[in-house]
Amino acid sequence: MTQPPHAPLLFATRAGTLYIGEQPVTALAERLGTPFYAYDSRLIELRIKELRDVLPSQVQIHYAVKANPFPPLLSYMAGRVDGCDVASAGELEKALEAGFSPETISFAGPGKRDAELMAALQANITINVESAGELERLARLGEMLGIRPRVALRINPDFELKGSGMRMGGGAKPFGIDAEQAPAIIREINALDIDFQGLHIFTGSQSLSMEAIIQAQSGALNLARMLLEGAGLPLRKINIGGGLGIPYFPGENRLNIKPMGDQLHHLLETHRGWLGDAHLVLELGRFLVGEAGVYVTRIVDRKVSRGETFLITDGGMHHHLALSGNLGQVIRKNYPVYLAHRVGKPAEEIVNIHGPLCTPLDVLGHKVALPRAEIGDLIAVTQSGAYGLTASPVHFLGHPLPSEVLIDGGHE
Ligand SMILES: *Cc1c(COP(=O)(O)O)cnc(C)c1O
């Protein structure tokens, strides 16, 4: 019970009941059945506004579709951010259906097949090229189809975002072209019949250190300058990555993004000479949608085993792998979990919360302090709007899929 607390809840509660927008989760559960995911558009809107308030207008916000490709949510994003980043032809199709216009879509990913490159060429989106070989393949396919490829080079920087939850830049990586190899490729670009857009420099993900984020952004711009200044290429955008994290675990705090905005204003001044009015792009997934989502599951059984109480729920790792600690965590920690009709009430017992799967990995909460919970009660897990359903092994053990719902403007 002496654990540090989770970051404060962003959803409203009334008489102890958790609300998603204007909807009590208990009513949502009646209607949708359990388990389900609900996403509150107002929290997404608030997040975007917070960013717009501090960012220079030259900095665009892109949504990383892989964080949550739920179609209504994607359509919602299409009207509010400046573009999106997809990582497969499947995501590209979803992004186009959601209403993103092709010139605002970019496609990164280390293993783009010919069919995917052709789909991207035909849609006329920007393709973030990940290797010299891919660039060659793309140029060839473009020639074949008679379409001039719109290309950005993804660079694997020689540094990484410190304190990052997932390492995606720096060192030997499957992603991007090593910064050291980039100059030779950039020299050849003029000779290729491609529409060069700029660079994509992704340094890492899920960082809660503003200092590290600022350092990585500054490093990305310096690297871009080194590669592009005097290269004689037209310059439209530099994607400087994202990496902004959200607090998942006890003791973690929300980022204050004001210093990042200040720094970007400053960086744009410093780099004005070579950058001109090319756009900077921040590509964000979890920071935009992660805190807007809740996963709700019902307690099916309550039992005691050798002195410990277990609540067994109808949802678990097959819907929410990250919650169970099996999506890239080294040491499992608890997400914030709430007894959905008694939020904020004093804890009465320590429980283990376990899903319905026949594996000890299906953990929703280990030694969590909760008010007394009974069979039929609802458990709500916040911080579940990103890498939830989309990143889970839904076929494992053959349980049904959960419902998903976007609560837009407080209502469905
Ligand atoms: C996954 C990914 C993102 C989004 O990461 P978040 O941590 O969700 O913000 C952004 N850019 C690239 C290249 C990615 O692979």
User: Mean pLDDT for the chain?
Assistant: 96
Q: Considering the domain boundaries, does residue 278 fall inside one? A: yes
In tens, the pLDDT along 89-124 reads 999 999 999 999 999 999 999 999 999 999 999 999
Q: How does DSSP assign 23-52, residue by residue?
A: EEHHHHHHHH-SSEEEEEHHHHHHHHHHHH
Task: Mark whether 129 and 268 lie in a shared domain.
Answer: yes
Task: Mark whether 146 and 274 lie in a shared domain.
Answer: yes
Q: Considering the domain boundaries, does residue 174 fall inside one? A: yes
Task: Mark whether 122 and 254 lie in a shared domain.
Answer: yes
| Cβ contact 154:134 at 8 Å | no
In tens, the pLDDT along 228-260 reads 998 999 999 999 999 999 999 999 999 999 999
| Cβ contact 69:98 at 8 Å | no
Task: Please provide residue 150's backbone torsions phi and psi, each rounded to the nearest 5 degrees.
Answer: -95, 115
In tens, the pLDDT along 115-157 reads 999 999 999 999 999 999 999 999 999 999 999 999 999 999 9
Domain boundary among 258, 284, 310: 284
- Map tokens 């001109």 to a residue: 276
Q: Considering the domain boundaries, does residue 173 fall inside one? A: yes
Check whether 316 has a pLDDT greater than 80: yes
| CA distances to 238, 298, 359, 395 from 318, in Å | 37, 15, 11, 7
Query: Could you identify the atom of ligand 1 that is nearest to the CA of residue 290?
Result: 8
DSSP state of 166: B
Task: Mark whether 251 and 305 lie in a shared domain.
Answer: no
Q: Considering the domain boundaries, does residue 64 fall inside one? A: no
Q: What is the CATH classification number for the domain harbouring 378? A: 2.40.37.10
Pocket test for ligand 1, best of 173, 240, 284, 327 (most atoms within 8 A of CB): 284
| Cβ contact 185:135 at 8 Å | yes
Task: Mark whether 176 and 315 lie in a shared domain.
Answer: no
Arithmetic mean of pLDDT, 329-343: 96
Task: Mark whether 181 and 266 lie in a shared domain.
Answer: yes
Check whether 166 has a pLDDT greater than 70: no
Amino acid 145: pLDDT? 98
Domain region containing 198:
69-284
Domain boundary among 284, 303, 319: 284
| Cβ contact 249:323 at 8 Å | no
Task: Mark whether 101 and 236 lie in a shared domain.
Answer: yes
Task: Mark whether 270 and 380 lie in a shared domain.
Answer: no
Nearest CA to ligand 1 atom 5: 285
Point out which residues pair with 153 in neighbouring strands: 129, 199
Query: Could you identify the atom of ligand 1 that is nearest to the CA of residue 241?
Result: 11
Measured in Å, residue 367 CA sits from the centre of ligand 1 at: 31
Domain boundary among 226, 252, 284: 284
Check whether 3 has a pLDDT greater than 80: no
Task: Mark whether 134 and 32 lie in a shared domain.
Answer: no
| Cβ contact 386:67 at 8 Å | yes
| CB-defined site of ligand 1, < 6 Å | 64, 66-67, 85, 108, 202, 205-206, 242, 283-287, 386
| Cβ contact 352:308 at 8 Å | yes
Task: Mark whether 198 and 275 lie in a shared domain.
Answer: yes
Amino acid 169: pLDDT? 62
Measured in Å, residue 275 CA sits from the centre of ligand 1 at: 24
Q: How does DSSP assign 360-392, residue by residue?
A: TT-EEEEEEEES---TT-EEEE-S-SSSSGGGS
Q: Considering the domain boundaries, does residue 57 fall inside one? A: no
Among 218, 255, 190, 247, smallest CA distance to 51 is for 255
Task: Mark whether 85 and 116 lie in a shared domain.
Answer: yes
Measured in Å, residue 204 CA sits from the centre of ligand 1 at: 8
Task: Mark whether 239 and 111 lie in a shared domain.
Answer: yes
Amino acid 165: pLDDT? 62
The span from the CA of 44 to the CA of 289, in Å, is 6
Pocket test for ligand 1, best of 61, 73, 85, 199 (most atoms within 8 A of CB): 85
The rounded Cα 188 to chain-centroid distance in angstroms is 34
Nearest CA to ligand 1 atom 2: 64
Q: What is the total count of domains within the chain?
A: 2
